[in-house]
Amino acid sequence: KGKSRRILVTGGCGFIGSALVLHLVQGLGHEVATLDALTYAANPISLAPLDGDPRHRLVTGDICDPQAVHALFSQFRPDAVMHLAAESHVDRSITDPGAFIRTNVVGTQVMLDGARTHWESLTGEARDAFRFLHVSTDEVYGSLPPDGFFTEESRYDPRSPYSASKAASDHLARAWHETYGLPVLVTNCSNNYGPRHFPEKLIPLMILNALEGRPLPVYGDGLNERDWIHVEDHARGLVAVLESGKLGETYLLGGRSVRNNLAVVNALCAAFDRLLPDHGPHERLISFVADRPGHDRRYAIDPGKAEHEIGWVPTKNFEQALEDTVQWYLDNEAWWRPIREGRYTGERLGLGVSA
């Protein structure tokens, strides 16, 4: 505890990965190697604050490539892995499930195998201290009845290609613990929000649409409920589980902020009205569109186990942190403008409308 670690982070150029890498290096002084294939969802500018910092290196590579993964393990010799690389957008998983099976399932197997070979080569304290943290989602548990909460005992019931691929990866991570003894930890987290979020997801999409005076498209009746956690609370939670979680166990991380989609969009409009009063009222931009197929009604997390066993708690107030997020997008046009205009990814974003 408190000791500087060498941590291999996969997917570190994505939304949560970049918040985590910045926290690990700048906040905690760890040494980090980021392995990222730089897909459309990556934005390497997110890690620009680490340019020239000897504690960080970016390795461009695919987690499905066993040679690249094994080479990185032997060169960097990490004492922990935090595995976040994934295809992460539900709407894309409906049109292109193959990419999700490849990266989320096969890629996780390759990472687990790489970690296992490396861990088996360690001895003594280094072997005891090694950890593989597999980062997953609460969507593996399917949809909840009104007022229900997911716990670590909830039954797996994935309902989209995305959540099914993440469920498979969770099972692989636990199997590598049971079968090979690899020191695995699993976290399942609720919907994240905050800075550097790719603008195909609900909150950043709504922010940029509001900024441009475009419609704010809400799926169905807007009453689908999600439990929102600020990405920095999540990053702290991942570190807490890595340092203090019990081997082989699962921890649910959530923000204790359940809101329906319409309430989220209303809160965004209120934030915009405060920050840009001359452009308001922004509520007039809300428009309802046909629902997503298989759209889960409610996700909500009971994070009691993580709170009691490892002493982590989410700290952000949702409405305040949402306003801060809007302010971040107002202040960081250079981050999102190339993505929004399709220059960065070479494609135009459609109007995906859920988280």
Which residue numbers are catalytic? 138-139, 162
Q: How far is 200 from 344, CA to CA, in rounded Å?
A: 14
Residue 246 gets the label, from left (phi > 0), alpha (psi -120 to 50) or beta, of beta
Q: Is 327 helix (H, G, I), strand (E, B) or coil?
A: helix
88/325 with CB nearer ligand NAD: 88
Residues 6+ apart with CB under 8 A from 280: 269, 272, 273
233/307 with CB nearer ligand NAD: 233
115/285 with CB nearer ligand NAD: 115
Q: How far is the CB of 283 from ligand NAD (least distance, A)?
A: 25
Give the residue nearest to ligand NAD (CB). 14
Q: How far is the CB of 229 from ligand NAD (least distance, A)?
A: 8
Pairing of strands 286-289, 216-219: parallel
In the chain, count H helices and then E strands.
13, 12
Q: How far is the CB of 110 from ligand NAD (least distance, A)?
A: 9
Query: Footprint of ligand NAD on this chain (CB under 6 A)?
Result: 10-11, 13-17, 36-39, 41-42, 62-64, 84-88, 103, 107, 135-137, 166, 189, 191-192, 198
Q: How far is the CB of 128 from ligand NAD (least distance, A)?
A: 27
Q: How far is the CB of 136 from ligand NAD (least distance, A)?
A: 6
CA–CA distances in Å: residue 305 to residues 72, 152, 250, 310: 34, 8, 9, 8
User: Do 226 and 355 form a contact (C-beta atoms < 8 A)?
Assistant: yes
176/198 with CB nearer ligand NAD: 198
194/217 with CB nearer ligand NAD: 194
Per the listing, tokens 């991380």 go with 253
Q: What is the dihedral of CA 12, 18, 21, 24, to 10 degrees?
A: -150
